[in-house]
């Protein structure tokens, strides 16, 4: 061992330098399309739909608020000026605003327009306001019902880089440039308040949150581990060795992600916490065993060899099982979850390699007095673990009853789990983006895009009167729901013309009743530039879209709305004329709720099978296999029950909790059973082996569980609600896992090893 120490340390120094470079090239991303479920038929249809039309989230809404009312000459002039200058911003293709809108008016000579708002004539504001507030095209879309907020719609380019050109700016960079331009422009006006809503705004703010979360979680976790190591070792060298080992593992992991070009998404805040606590667990087990061997009179060389042989194998198995738990996330259809599984599994193995080589190389230079200060703390742990052992021996009935009661409560809680995911629940607390989102939810049409794709049957065209009437029926039905406050389709062209021929009366905004009138309108419609119609109708006029935005009701509630709409269409729309299908970004993302339970069960089932295989190889006993699984099923049930009792929606981010819990919780079981197996191998009886395992392995198991508990509680400092939920669930569940191990495993060993 001695001859390899220096080369090992030099190799890790080189790796650390490369990793430092990689950390400066870490990529962060956020896009709702990341959460599209792979391999879904509706997704395939939606992607074809987008190819033919355009994305349904290529917009940035800017709401300008004046609580006394927007019909004020100064306010309107500033809003109009803002709208005009916004056209010059990068990645903006068009701007819509009430200050730029004109009503068409038919004269004997031609069709002309009159402004919706006569900005320079305040005497006409009352009439303008009355007409606008009765127009369904504008209310909740370009102005709120109270008339206190005016919306300017900025139509943006597709910000995602679809060309694969590595020289092109990333979607995040484009979003930052666009939002920077909007902010600079907004700074030149004195509006009372302004609010943003759109994909560019989401990207900029959510990526900023991710970077903040990674930095904060790393710092707080580091401080926590520093405190734990101080309490544990009380010697500067012992503390430094442990902290350097853990910090190096984190550096190598993040640097590797940077060098590999792996993008960090909304779940990235878990990486520092995960790496620090997994590394801490490995370090505590290795250092505790090394200290025990030195105290037993072994020299440094022998102590390191025994430590690597006995703890190294168990730690390798725990690392593999943890990595397997994360790797099972590859069964998910959602890319961020799959990426998290791959990255986390890689990180666990990096932490293991760092500890087994780098940490042991450093330890081999140190004596027990240099690493730890022994004293009253050892006596405390001895008393605590002795009491736990005696409780399992003297009160098995209480443990059985307690486990049964917990199992029943878990089943009840799991039955209450919901997948009614809402966008609001994923937005950062106390940030402007959340305030803005809620403003649009309350005052305007909300954010969730919802589309209905209409395809004309046989040789019919969308512009045929019979087809248009069917589209109109669907649109009128959808508008009846309170959650739908804004719709648009090709019918708007003919409704507007009909309104024009009826003196622009609000009640005349409807389709013509007979085909003869429709043909007359069609001549006028043909004069509208095709570029303005292509977003609502395909170039070959065989497909059309009904586009709208829904309130953030929740995935399950929206599914009820969609099912109800599909049934109405089947019963009331002539499907021999048109085919109708619901689609849109929001609909596709909401489909995740249908796959989460399925993927969760598949992933956990696969993890259990693989872990069973590893256990069989290690212990070569069906009894040990059963003993290793039982105490780890209970924490999983408890996690599910907590979701139900606390009313937490089971959504994509939260679903990773179960992989983390199983992957980490089984570690303590492996360490306990590995120590027990070694004791039995020395010829000890069952009871003696259990007693020895409590004394020698119990301390490291409890200590690592304490670190895990408080380590994941660090997530409570997050401003990202799903991260807080994940941290709380994992902390409480892993605490229950160590209790389950220490209480149930001895009972199972006594029963099965008689």
**Rg of the chain in Å (alpha carbons):** 32
Closest CA to 278 of 708, 635, 628, 687: 708
Closest CA to 744 of 432, 308, 348, 398: 398
- Please determine, for residue 85, whether its predicted confidence score (pLDDT) is greater than 90: yes
Query: CB–CB of 237/371 below 8 Å?
Result: yes
Q: How far apart, in whole angstroms, are the C-alpha atoms of residue 626 and residue 361?
A: 37
Could you tell me which residues come within 8 angstroms of residue 571 by beta carbon, excluding any fewer than 6 positions away? none
- Please determine, for residue 89, whether its predicted confidence score (pLDDT) is greater than 70: yes
pLDDT at residue 161, rounded to an integer: 47
What does the pLDDT look like over 593-635, one tens digit per residue?
A: 667 766 677 767 777 777 777 777 777 777 777 888 888 888 8
What are residue 25's DSSP bridge partners? none
Query: CB–CB of 715/726 below 8 Å?
Result: yes
Q: How far apart, in whole angstroms, are the C-alpha atoms of residue 421 and residue 647?
A: 11
Our CA dihedral for 665, 666, 667, 673, rounded to 10 degrees, sits at 130
DSSP 262: P
Query: CB–CB of 202/171 below 8 Å?
Result: no
Distance in angstroms between the alpha carbons of the first and the last residue of the chain? 41
- Please determine, for residue 660, whether its predicted confidence score (pLDDT) is greater than 70: yes
DSSP 447: S
pLDDT at residue 163, rounded to an integer: 38
Closest CA to 98 of 76, 78, 120: 76
Candidate from 252-256, 611-615, 734-738 with smallest mean pLDDT? 611-615
Strands (DSSP E) found in 462-602: 484-488, 543-550, 578-583
Query: CB–CB of 408/641 below 8 Å?
Result: no
DSSP line for 4-63: HHHHHHHHHHHHHHHHHHHHTT-EE---GGGGSPTT-HHHHHHHHHHHHS--TT-EEEEE
- Please determine, for residue 257, whether its predicted confidence score (pLDDT) is greater than 90: yes
Q: How far apart, in whole angstroms, are the C-alpha atoms of residue 117 and residue 95?
A: 16
Q: What distance separates the 2 farthest-apart alpha carbons in the chain?
A: 109
Query: CB–CB of 448/547 below 8 Å?
Result: no
Q: Which residue has the tokens 């961020």?
A: 336
Could you tell me which residues come within 8 angstroms of residue 174 by beta carbon, excluding any fewer than 6 positions away? 90, 91, 157, 159, 200
- Please determine, for residue 718, whether its predicted confidence score (pLDDT) is greater than 60: yes
What the chain holds in terms of domains, given with CATH numbers, is: 2-29+205-415+592-752 (1.20.1640.10), 58-204 (no CATH), 432-590 (no CATH)
Q: How far apart, in whole angstroms, are the C-alpha atoms of residue 122 and residue 116?
A: 13
- Please determine, for residue 59, whether its predicted confidence score (pLDDT) is greater than 70: yes
Helices in 138-198 by DSSP H: which ranges?
Answer: 171-186
Query: CB–CB of 268/210 below 8 Å?
Result: yes
Our CA dihedral for 497, 498, 503, 509, rounded to 10 degrees, sits at -100
27-28 vs 263-264, strand pairing mode: parallel
Query: CB–CB of 110/198 below 8 Å?
Result: no
pLDDT at residue 1, rounded to an integer: 57
Q: What does pTM read for this prediction?
A: 0.82
pLDDT at residue 143, rounded to an integer: 94
Q: What is the mean pLDDT of the chain?
A: 86
Q: How far apart, in whole angstroms, are the C-alpha atoms of residue 219 and residue 234?
A: 21
Closest CA to 639 of 558, 512, 735, 708: 735
pLDDT at residue 121, rounded to an integer: 92
- How many residues are listed for the chain in this entry? 754
pLDDT at residue 162, rounded to an integer: 38
Could you tell me which residues come within 8 angstroms of residue 118 by beta carbon, excluding any fewer than 6 positions away? 124, 125, 128
Please give the average per-residue pLDDT across 66-94, as a whole number. Answer: 94
Q: How far apart, in whole angstroms, are the C-alpha atoms of residue 477 and residue 584?
A: 18
Q: Over pLDDT 70: what percentage of the chain?
A: 95
Closest CA to 311 of 280, 288, 341: 288
What does the pLDDT look like over 354-403, one tens digit per residue?
A: 999 999 999 988 888 888 876 666 677 778 888 999 999 999 999 999 99
DSSP 484: E
Higher pLDDT, 106 or 20: 20
- Please determine, for residue 293, whether its predicted confidence score (pLDDT) is greater than 70: yes
Q: How far apart, in whole angstroms, are the C-alpha atoms of residue 234 and residue 678?
A: 30
What does the pLDDT look like over 340-360, one tens digit per residue?
A: 889 999 999 999 999 999 999
Confidence of residue 688 (pLDDT cuts 50, 70, 90): very high
Confidence of residue 268 (pLDDT cuts 50, 70, 90): confident
Query: CB–CB of 639/729 below 8 Å?
Result: yes
DSSP line for 69-90: -S--HHHHHHHHHHHHHHTTST
pLDDT at residue 423, rounded to an integer: 83
Our CA dihedral for 124, 126, 128, 131, rounded to 10 degrees, sits at -140
pLDDT at residue 196, rounded to an integer: 97
């Amino acid at each position: 061992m001695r001859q390899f120490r220096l080369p090992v340390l030099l190799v890790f120094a080189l790796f650390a330098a490369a990793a430092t470079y990689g950390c400066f090239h870490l990529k962060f991303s956020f896009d709702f399309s990341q959460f599209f479920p792979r391999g879904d038929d509706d997704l395939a249809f939606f992607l074809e739909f987008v190819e033919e039309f355009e994305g349904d989230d290529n917009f940035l809404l800017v709401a300008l608020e004046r609580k006394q009312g927007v019909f004020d000459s100064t306010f309107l002039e500033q809003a109009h000026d803002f709208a005009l200058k916004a056209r010059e911003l990068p990645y903006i293709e068009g701007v819509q605003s009430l200050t730029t809108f004109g009503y068409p008016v038919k004269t004997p000579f031609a069709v002309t327009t009159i402004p919706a708002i006569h900005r320079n004539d305040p005497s006409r504001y009352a009439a303008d306001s009355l007409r606008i507030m009765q127009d369904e095209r504008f209310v909740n879309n370009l102005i709120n019902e109270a008339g206190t907020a005016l919306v300017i719609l900025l139509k943006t380019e597709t910000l995602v880089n679809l060309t694969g050109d590595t020289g092109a700016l990333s979607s995040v960079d484009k979003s930052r440039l666009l939002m920077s331009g909007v902010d600079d422009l907004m700074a030149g006006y004195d509006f009372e308040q302004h609010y943003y809503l759109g994909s560019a705004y989401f990207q900029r703010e959510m990526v900023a949150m991710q970077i903040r979360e990674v930095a904060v979680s790393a710092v707080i976790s580091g401080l926590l581990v520093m405190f734990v190591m101080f309490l544990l070792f009380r010697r500067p060298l012992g503390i430094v060795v442990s902290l350097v080992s853990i910090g190096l593992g984190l550096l190598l992991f993040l640097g590797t992600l940077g060098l590999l070009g792996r993008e960090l998404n909304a779940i990235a805040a878990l990486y520092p916490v995960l790496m620090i606590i997994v590394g801490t667990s490995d370090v505590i087990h290795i250092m505790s065993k090394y200290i025990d061997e030195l105290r037993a009179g072994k020299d440094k060389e022998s102590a390191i060899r025994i430590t690597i042989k006995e703890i190294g194998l168990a730690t390798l198995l725990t690392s593999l099982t943890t990595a397997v738990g994360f790797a099972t996330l590859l069964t998910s259809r959602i890319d961020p979850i799959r990426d998290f599984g791959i990255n986390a599994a890689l990180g666990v193995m990096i932490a293991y390699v760092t500890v087994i080589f780098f940490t042991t190389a450093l330890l081999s230079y140190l004596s027990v007095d240099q690493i730890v200060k022994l004293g009253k703390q050892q006596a405390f742990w001895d008393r605590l673990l002795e009491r736990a052992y005696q409780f399992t021996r003297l009160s098995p009935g209480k443990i059985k009853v307690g486990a049964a009661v917990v199992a029943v409560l878990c089943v009840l809680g799991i039955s209450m789990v919901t997948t009614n995911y809402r966008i609001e629940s994923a937005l950062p607390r106390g940030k402007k983006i959340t305030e803005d989102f809620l403003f649009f939810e309350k005052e305007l049409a909300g954010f969730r895009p919802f589309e209905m794709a209409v395809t004309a049957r046989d040789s019919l065209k969308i512009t045929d009167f019979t087809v248009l009437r069917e589209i109109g029926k669907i649109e009128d039905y959808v508008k009846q729901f309170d959650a739908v406050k804004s719709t648009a389709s090709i019918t708007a062209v003919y409704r507007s013309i009909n309104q024009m021929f009826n003196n622009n009366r609000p009640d005349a905004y409807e389709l013509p009743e007979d085909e003869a009138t429709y043909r007359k309108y069609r001549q006028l419609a043909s004069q509208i530039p095709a570029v303005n119609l292509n977003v609502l109708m395909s170039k070959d006029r065989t497909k059309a879209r009904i586009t709208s935005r829904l309130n953030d009701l929740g995935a399950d509630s929206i599914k009820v709305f969609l099912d109800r709409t599909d049934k109405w269409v089947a019963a009331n729309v002539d499907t021999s004329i048109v085919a109708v299908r619901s689609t849109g970004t929001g609909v596709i993302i909401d489909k995740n709720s249908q796959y989460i339970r399925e993927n969760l069960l598949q992933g956990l089932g696969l993890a259990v099978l693989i872990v069973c295989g590893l256990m069989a190889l290690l212990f070569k006993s069906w009894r040990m296999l059963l003993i290793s699984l039982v105490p780890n099923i209970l924490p999983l049930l408890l996690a599910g029950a907590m979701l139900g009792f606390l009313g937490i929606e089971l959504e994509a981010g939260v679903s990773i909790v179960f992989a983390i819990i199983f992957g980490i919780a089984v570690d303590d079981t492996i360490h306990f059973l590995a120590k027990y197996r070694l004791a039995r191998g020395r010829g000890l009886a069952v009871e003696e082996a259990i007693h020895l395992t409590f004394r020698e392995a119990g301390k490291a198991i409890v200590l690592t569980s304490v670190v895990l508990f408080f380590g994941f509680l660090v997530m409570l400092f997050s401003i990202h609600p799903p991260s807080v939920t994940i941290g709380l669930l994992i902390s409480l569940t892993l605490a229950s896992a160590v209790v389950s191990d220490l209480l149930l495993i001895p009972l199972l060993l006594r029963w099965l090893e008689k």
